[in-house]
Amino acid sequence: MDNAKDFAAAILDRMVSFGKAQFGDAVKAYWIYDGDVCPCCLKRPIDVMKYKGKEALSVNGFMYRERGVLIGYLLCSLCAQDIFKTSKKRQTSMHENIEKNLISAYQKHLASLDA
């Protein structure tokens, strides 16, 4: 890739392809969460983490079914690592938090379009 913008576009294209493969016609739109803080903890900035000795980003997607919107998002390194290492019960709680925070951010985004 020539630059970060091309790389981000390629990731977005891939995420939308996977989302459409998994959810089919339920995907009516997509949106990328671009908040300054992690949508899981709402405390730390999104940053790179070490994964298998290399720098990586935790790129994720959430299907907001009520609106038919595939939401792409990144996590901070601590939350991403916690999801990998924690119990299923804690993972479920973290994902519920992420979904709630992403829905709220998306609704604020929609409200800003109407303003």
| pLDDT of the residue at 44 | 96
3-state secondary structure the chain: CCCHHHHHHHHHHHHHHHHHHHHHHHCCEEEECCCCECCCCCCCECCCEEECCEEECEEEEEEECCCCEEEEEEECHHHHHHHHHCCHHHHHHHHHHHHHHHHHHHHHHHHHHHC
Q: Hey, what amino acid is at 66?
A: E
Model confidence pLDDT, tens digit, residues 47-87: 988 888 998 888 899 999 999 999 999 999 999 999 888 88
| pLDDT of the residue at 2 | 52
**Overall number of domains in the chain:** 1
Q: Model confidence at 104, in pLDDT bands (50, 70, 90)?
A: very high
| pLDDT of the residue at 4 | 57
Tokens of 31: 């949106």
- Quick check: 1 pLDDT over 80? no
Q: Hey, what amino acid is at 98?
A: I
Exposure of 94 in the CB half-sphere (CA atoms within 13 A): 19
| pLDDT of the residue at 114 | 84
* Mean pLDDT value across residues 17-22: 85
State which residues form the domain around 88. 4-114
Q: Model confidence at 13, in pLDDT bands (50, 70, 90)?
A: confident
